[in-house]
């Protein structure tokens, strides 16, 4: 697998994780700070088991951090990983847009830093 294919696979994995509306809502709820799983479950109107499943998917994608405090687990956004994954995904889309353009147009596209 070449680098572009690996990047496409990584971007597809990222979009797969965030393509679920409940996971996007979790990210929106957490943008203002950490929340415990039980509160997230209530806000999402989902069972604790379903909420836990979505939180686990986000955690395994390194998009969330967790901190235990007594019986509660608090979740927060791992902003650097989320930003990095989003930036990489946008870069992939820009590469795709460069397909079929002549060499001069490709040189003018923004480069990853």
Beta strands in 11-103 (DSSP E): 35-36, 64-69, 72-77
Work out the mean pLDDT of the chain and round it to a whole number. 81
**3-state class of 80 per DSSP?**
helix
Long-range contacts formed by 2-7: CB under 8 A, 24+ apart: 4/95, 7/88, 7/91, 7/92, 7/95
User: Residue 76 and residue 45: Cα distance in Å, rounded?
Assistant: 19
Helix (H, G, I), strand (E, B) or coil at 20: coil
Query: Residues of the chain whose pLDDT is less than 70?
Result: 1, 3, 86, 90, 93, 95-113
Q: What domains does the chain contain, in order, with CATH numbers? A: 3-98 (1.10.10.10)
> Number of helices (H) and strands (E), helices first, in the chain?
6, 3
User: What pLDDT does residue 70 have?
Assistant: 93
pLDDT for 107 equals 47
User: In the prediction, which pLDDT does 106 show?
Assistant: 42
Structure token pair of residue 91: 């870069």
């Amino acid at each position: 697998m070449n680098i572009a294919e690996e990047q496409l696979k990584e971007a597809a994995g990222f979009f797969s994780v965030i393509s679920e509306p409940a996971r996007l809502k979790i990210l929106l709820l957490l943008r203002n700070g950490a929340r415990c799983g039980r509160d997230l479950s209530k806000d999402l109107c989902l069972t604790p088991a379903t909420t836990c499943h979505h939180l686990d998917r986000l955690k395994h994608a390194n998009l969330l951090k967790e901190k235990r405090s007594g019986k509660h687990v608090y979740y927060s956004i791992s902003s650097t990983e989320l930003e990095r994954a989003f930036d990489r995904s946008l870069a992939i889309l820009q590469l795709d847009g460069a397909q079929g353009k002549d060499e001069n147009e490709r040189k003018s596209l923004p480069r990853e830093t």
